[in-house]
Structure 1
Amino acid sequence: MPVIAVLVLDGVPGHQLTAPGLAFGTAARHHPPVAYDVRICTAPGFEATGGLASFRVETPWGLDGLADLDDTDTVLLPGHERFRDPPPPDVVAALRAAAARGCRIGAVGTGTFTLAATGLLDGRRAATSRRNTAELARLHPRIDVDPEGSVVADGPFHSAAGVLGGIDLCLDLITLDHGMAVAIETERQLFLQLHDPTTPATTCAAYTPPGSSLAPTTTWMEANLRHPLTLDDIAAHAGLGARHLTRRFHAETGLTPLQYLLRARIQRAQWLLERTEDPVERIAALTGLGTPANLRRHFQRQTGTTPTTYRTAFRTFVTNLTPRE
């Protein structure tokens, strides 16, 4: 099971400390083949989180929690209050050793300053909190600093502004590990509070398990959602008879091919509603659902709400949950 080692220094923002467990745990909970071992590793001198509502953390791991990582594992560096100070030498050594073993290393917000101090980002692109981009560029002129603070990947090193405690960075890593469909559904489950009756329900993801023999076919389906696909079309692409294909789909996804296709279309509609200003008419065409009435009917049946209500609710939650930097 891949390990996500969250290396925390004193004064880490509480939401950045807890976000990785929330993101990777949600991905695993909603997609049973997905599994992560998230461990909190405290650096020397760690006492408590920063801010007004600080809290202490007890964990069995210190820097020794990084010692047994291998090339399938990841180290995450949240920000911390004294990020301008040089990190302790043993923290630098532990990070360099992890990088030498092939681990991915991610930095959130001002955690990028800590990673930069190791020299591992020299000659690479990186991001930090938007209000700190100029300072990072001044202190570390060999780093190409992204002024927008968006998620940046350069080789095994990943960095992000720190909005929602680095949720965007975690989702980026989940995408690399398990594909965009898993990351999109994970993001949706994170943002939508299903216990609130004013919040729209979500549909189950159209999801193909890792290593599935159906992956080439489901990838083709998802790339051609706007086209009218029949069971015979899907079977022809898979090189199987319709009955054989249906049995295999049911065994590997729990759905028939056409049920999978409908869920993929609704999932794409959700993505477009969340991230674009496209009108319902265009979304209906892009997803292969044809008409706005057809989109509304299937969307209501799958999610329990209308496309317009879904779009409004999603954006309201994102706005309310995004801390101002």
Structure 2
Amino acid sequence: MITHLVFDGVADGPMGVALDIVGAAERVVRAGLVALPEGRLAPRQRVVSVNGEPVRTASGRTFAVDGALGLRGMGPGDVLVLPGLGMATTPEIAAALERPDIVRGVEWVARAATKGVLVAASCSATFVLAASRVLDGRRATTTWWLGPAFAQRFPRVTLSSERMVVESGGVFTAGSAFAHADLMLAILAHTVSPSVAHMVTRYLVLDERASQARYMVLSHLRGSDPAIRKLESFVTSNIERQISIHEMARATATSPRTLARRVAKGLGITPQQFAQRLRIAQAVHLLETTQQSIDDIAARVGYADPAAFRRVFRRETGETPRARRMRSMLREAEAREAPARLRGVKAPPAPARAARAG
């Protein structure tokens, strides 16, 4: 059983997407489109609140639930998921963690984890999960612009805010807003079957994304530290070559130590990591919008050694450059075909080509 635990302020879109994804998975299995491993069943789901009462969503709508959260009968094989809350700032989240309903929810999450229930959260709800101490000593991700605040509040958690979904010791976390879709697909792959998760992505035309890196900086920086904005401008103007920390410091009128401190405070990473992510974001753009070779793209974003570029790209995005390009091509092709949603339709044919390692 997949149980969605919702609080007042739950984000409308991610919650709806989660219900659609699990519902599609159930229909895929019951239609016989995917054979499950022995002992696995079609997923079922329910939505609960801490007291069984409807909640108000982030947009002010009333959201009905199936009942109150109860742990009787829950154990290994069950899943407790916390959809993101419609909160975008650190003060909002700090205030939410003091709310009686969320304090009670934190206690329920901790108890569920001790019973062997798989627990998961996305976006700002990762703060609720971390408050339960379930993430202590584990790796996790959160929505990228809240990474520094998360790291400061929960120092016992190893944060990988560039990742879209992180699984660590059977606990799942995901990044911002519609990363909840990625979270649900990862949970389906883990608890039901990878084939089911893949089939759902194809029927619902979902984009499988391994990393938040390409989304992490440009729009958010407009309100950030001016030194970070200067650094972004300097790196993008010199995207074709590697830049030393001393050059970065001169360009931002700071010392290397001061620049490192300000970037760490603003983004939770080092200046070198920031520059690297800007390069990879540009590389993703070129892979998706041009036919240039991977070696040429590597050179255009400052990597004289294509092998080094491939290693960095895979570390930052979770996939190879070639796989990224092929996935983009397949996604565009499937979108053009506009496959019908699950209403007795046949499974779509497998892609003619598979991505090779890049």
TM-score, structure 2 as length reference: 0.52
The CA deviation at 1:31 is 2.1
- Which residue of structure 1 lines up, in the alignment, with residue 26 of structure 2? 28
> 161-170 or 95-104: which moved more?
161-170
Show structure 2 runs of 5+ residues with no match. 31-35, 207-319, 338-358
Deviation of 1:58 (Å): 1.9
Q: Residue 107 of structure 1: SS of its match in structure 2?
A: strand
Give 2:67's match in structure 1, choosing from 33, 41, 61.
Answer: 61
Q: Select which of 193, 199, 219 maps to 1:179.
A: 193
Report the AA paired with residue 148 of structure 1: E
CA contact (8 A) 2:164 2:179 kept: no
AA in 2 matched with 1:37:
R
Maintained 8 Å contact 1:67/1:94: no
Equivalent-residue separation in structure 2 for 1:316 and 1:139 (angstroms): 45
Once the two structures are TM-superposed, the CA of residue 120 in structure 1 deviates from its matched residue by 1.3
Aligned residue for 1:70?
75
Q: Which of 40, 57, 66 is equivalent to 1:49?
A: 57
Match of residue 104, structure 1, among 118, 128, 141: 118
Q: 1:60, CA displacement in angstroms?
A: 3.3
Amino acid at match of 1:4: I
2:45 partner letter: V
Counterpart contact for 1:67–1:98, Cα < 8 Å:
no
Tell me how far apart the structure 2 counterparts of residues 16 and 141 of structure 1 sit (CA, whole Å): 27
Instruction: Give the distance between the partners of 1:119 and 1:131, measured in 2 at CA.
Output: 22
The aligned counterpart of 1:312 is: 332
Aligned residue in 1 for 2:129:
115
- Is this contact kept in 2: 1:83–1:114, CA < 8 A? no
CA distance in structure 1 between the aligned counterparts of 2:152 and 2:336, rounded to whole angstroms: 36
Conserved 8 A contact 1:151-1:169 = yes
- Structure 1 residues 311 and 120: CA distance shift in structure 2, 3 A: closer
Looking at structure 2, the residues matched to 146 and 315 of structure 1 have their Cα atoms a distance apart, in angstroms, of: 31
C-alpha distance 311-122 of structure 1, shift in aligned 2 (>3 A): closer
- In the other structure, the counterpart of 2:14 is 16
CA 1:63–1:182: 2 relative to 1, 3 Å: closer
* 1:29 alignment partner AA: R
What is the Cα deviation at residue 314 of structure 1?
4.3
AA matched with 2:189? T
* Aligned-partner residue type, residue 63 of structure 1: L
Aligned AA (2:79):
T
- Taking structure 1 as reference, are residues 179 and 137 closer, same or farther at Cα in structure 2, changes over 3 Å only? same
Aligned residues: 206
- What is the match of residue 6 of structure 1? 4
For the residue of structure 1 that corresponds to 2:135, the secondary structure is coil
Q: Residues 1-325 of structure 1 correspond to what in structure 2 (within 5 A)?
A: 3-32=1-30, 34-44=41-51, 47-51=55-59, 54-64=60-70, 66-80=71-85, 81=87, 82-84=92-94, 85-86=96-97, 88=100, 89-164=103-178, 166-191=180-205, 276-278=324-326, 311-314=331-334
Identity %: 26
TM-score w.r.t. the length of structure 1 is: 0.57
Q: Which AA in structure 1 matches 2:43?
A: Y
Per-residue deviation, 1:59: 2.0
SS of the equivalent of 1:95 reads helix
Give, in angstroms, the shift of residue 67 of structure 1. Answer: 3.9
Query: Structure 1 CA distance, aligned partners of 2:323 and 2:201?
Result: 12
User: How far apart are residue 135 of structure 1 and its match?
Assistant: 1.0
Q: 8 Å contact 1:160–1:166 — kept in the other structure?
A: yes
RMSD: 3.0
Alpha-carbon spacing, 1:83–1:7, altered in 2? closer, same or farther (3 Å): farther
SS for the counterpart of 1:183 is helix
Alpha-carbon shift at residue 91 of structure 1 (Å): 1.4
SS at match of 2:332: helix
